[in-house]
Amino acid sequence: MTTVAAGPETNLSPAAGLALVQVIDVHKSFGTLPVLKGVSLEVARGEVVVLVGPSGSGKTTLVRCINRLETIDRGRIYVDGELIGYRERGGRLIIEGERQVARHREHIGMVFQRFNLFPHLTALENVMIGPLRVQRRPMKEIRTEAAALLAKVGLSDKLGTYPAHLSGGQQQRVAIARALAMKPAVMLFDEPTSALDPETVDEVLEVMRALAQGGMTMIVVTHEMRFAREVADRVIMMDQGLIVEMASGQDFFAAPKSERTRAFLASIL
């Protein structure tokens, strides 16, 4: 693990190919409330990182900063070697425009707690809409890919079904297929199962597990500790806007080092 401290005022480039995602000394406040207080982490290509920690510790804010749903106050974030949220000109950082932000987001898949599918579009159309908007490719090709993605998440029998007729777990699987349709370099999951009925949680976790096994780079905020233990290459514990522990999935649960991690695990397990 290499961490580099750098404010936006420094002119530091990431070592090319070092990590797919680099978060460098990120600070973020909402008004006077500091929420991220200097967070640094690197995620390698193909790695699955699970973020855990008490409510309000900054996990959601961190993943939202990675795809620039939030701006940051200090630090830098690189995804696939590209600086997110700013562009560099003559050693200075300038906040990037909406078009540039949208271009970056195409490579960063995001799955939210609430799936927000378009209610007037079928499952297949929901998956096709992203590529149709930004990729100049034949409709037939996009349709075939979308159908294959829905098959991958176990919904090949629901192509023509509207969201209102799908269970929460099925809607979330469509949302995962929709994010995958953009061929993202990394997938961010923000508590993807916490709004689901308990009986549909496992089907979504199964899809995520298969994605992980297929080599997808993933950053996952979740309270599903079994998933963290079994699937995460690394578990990262956040508390009060800081990373307090980083360990392999096995070690994190078997031998937590920080007192705060032990207290957190005791409170939820």
* Residues near ligand ADP (CB under 6 A): 30, 33, 35, 53, 55-61
Say which residues have a Cβ less than 8 Å from residue 64's Cβ, sequence separation at least 6: 70, 190
Say which residues have a Cβ less than 8 Å from residue 10's Cβ, sequence separation at least 6: none
Q: Estimate the crossing angle of helix 139-152 against helix 168-180, to 10 degrees.
A: 130
Nearer to ligand ADP, 64 or 76 (CB): 64
Nearer to ligand ADP, 59 or 234 (CB): 59
Find the shortest distance in angstroms from Cβ 173 to ligand ADP: 23
Find the shortest distance in angstroms from Cβ 145 to ligand ADP: 32
**Amino acid making up residue 107:** H
Nearer to ligand ADP, 4 or 242 (CB): 242
E strand residue ranges, 56-161? 74-79, 82-83, 86-89, 92-95, 108-111
β partners of residue 84:
none
Find the shortest distance in angstroms from Cβ 26 to ligand ADP: 12
Structure tokens at 34: 């500091």
Nearer to ligand ADP, 60 or 193 (CB): 60
Find the shortest distance in angstroms from Cβ 58 to ligand ADP: 5
